Copies of this chain bind each other. A is one copy, B any other.
Amino acid sequence: MSTDSGEISIDLLEAAAAAPYAPPPKPNWTSAHQVVAGFVGAETLGRDLDRVEESLRGAFDGASAMFADAMRAVAVPGKRLRPLLTLACGYARSGGGPVGERVIKAAAAVELLHLGSLVHDDVMDEAAVRHGVPSVNESWGNLTAVLVGDVLISESLDMAADLGTQQAKLLTGTLRTLCDGQARETASQYRIDRDEQAYLSSIAGKTARLIAASCRLGAIETGLSRQAADALESFGHHLGMAFQIVDDVLDLTATSEQLGKPAGNDIAQGVYALPVIHAIRHTPSLVDYLGRVPTERELDGALQLVRGGAGIALAGQLAERHTQSACQAVESCAGELDTAAGAMLRALAMGVLERRR
């Protein structure tokens, strides 16, 4: 943008000023964001996400000096997938245009609950890294991590209570289910007798329930009927199930570079997803590598056996079925939705199957 002499060309500046406003590229936007932006416009979505950030900042900023640093680390914007879904359902009725303050508050509340549970999960797992950076417990200790998680949870439920008792109870019930899902996962860690049902109950509680709640809140706060809210909650549940199944498959099939973490990490941690459960049943020699923390060679051997089995494809089919169920849920309340909004929600569900990392 500069001339050879090193000076900025006035012509170029004038041309830039005359061009229609193009929002700067959003580094954290996923293809899901693009789908929603395609419906409501990148500018509206960007502004509404900024409003969510502002609402979140209010919750982060009140932190005691003692854990202000830890809170700042938690506050670094991630994908904000759950708020995106709350907004998407919030747009579904209005047919575009910015959403009301209540939808923004709902979006912030679900993200705070998500962040609080992540921080607590890392204490439980003694995880040293989260999204490529040191976890709160690793950097500041368990004490700070438990406190920060509690504060995030209290801020989330406080916002939900502002919306109403129904909304508050939706999130307390969700927190309860998150705990149950986490407990189920831990109970079956390194267990070679984990079955499909145990896996599905765990991800339903750990992942799908909060995504379902995110959608329900968006639907409620944009003024959709109770039936439509039920339908969009079901949409969120199935989208969440598909999302987690695909996520767990990617952990087995993607390269470490694609994942940004070691491939097969879940097997190393003793979390056996659908393809592993299937492979154990059909390739008994696999159990030689499982049931404990594997060596690098054992992990490679396990990954090869799992990748060679039919479980990967079966898991993909199950994810696809959940995606179809998500689309059907949208259909079931199509009468209340803007037509293009229905298509946007279905595209969000289908997009889950396209994830590569």
Contacts and interface: CB of A to CB of B under 8 A. Distances in A.
Interface of A: 62, 64-67, 117, 120, 123-126, 142-143, 146-147, 149-151, 153-155, 157-158, 161-162, 164-165, 168-169, 172-173, 175-176, 178-180, 182-184, 186-187
Contacts of A67: 183
Contact of A165 (B65, B146, B162, B187): B162
8 contacts: A66-B187, A67-B183, A155-B176, A157-B157, A158-B173, A158-B176, A162-B169, A165-B168
B164 A143 contact: no
A156 to B, nearest CB: 9
A166 to B, nearest CB: 8
B162 A175 contact: no
Contact of A125 (B65, B143, B154, B175): B143
Contacts of A164: 165
Contacts of A158: 168-169, 172-173, 176
B151 A176 contact: yes
A150 B67 CA distance: 19
A181 to B, nearest CB: 9
Given A120-B147, A147-B183, 10 more contacts: A64-B180, A65-B187, A66-B186, A120-B146, A123-B142, A146-B146, A154-B172, A155-B172, A158-B176, A161-B165
Contacts of A146: 120, 123-124, 146, 149
A184 B65 CA distance: 9
A184 B64 contact: yes
Q: Is the interface of A mostly helix, strand, loop or mixed?
A: helix
A110 to B, nearest CB: 15
B175 A150 contact: yes
Contacts of A184: 64, 66
A176 B157 CA distance: 11
Contacts of A173: 154, 158
A147 B165 contact: no
A76 to B, nearest CB: 21
A186 B150 contact: no
Nearest to A119: B146
A272 to B, nearest CB: 17
Contacts of A65: 187
B176 A169 contact: no
Most buried by B among A64, A125, A180: A64
A186 B70 CA distance: 15
A109 B281 CA distance: 46
Nearest to A121: B146
Contacts of A153: 150, 153, 175
B150 A179 contact: yes
A51 to B, nearest CB: 22
Contacts of A187: 64-66
A161 B167 CA distance: 9
Given A123-B142, A124-B142, A146-B146, A176 B161 contact: no
A81 B254 CA distance: 55
A109 B261 CA distance: 42
Contacts of A162: 165, 169
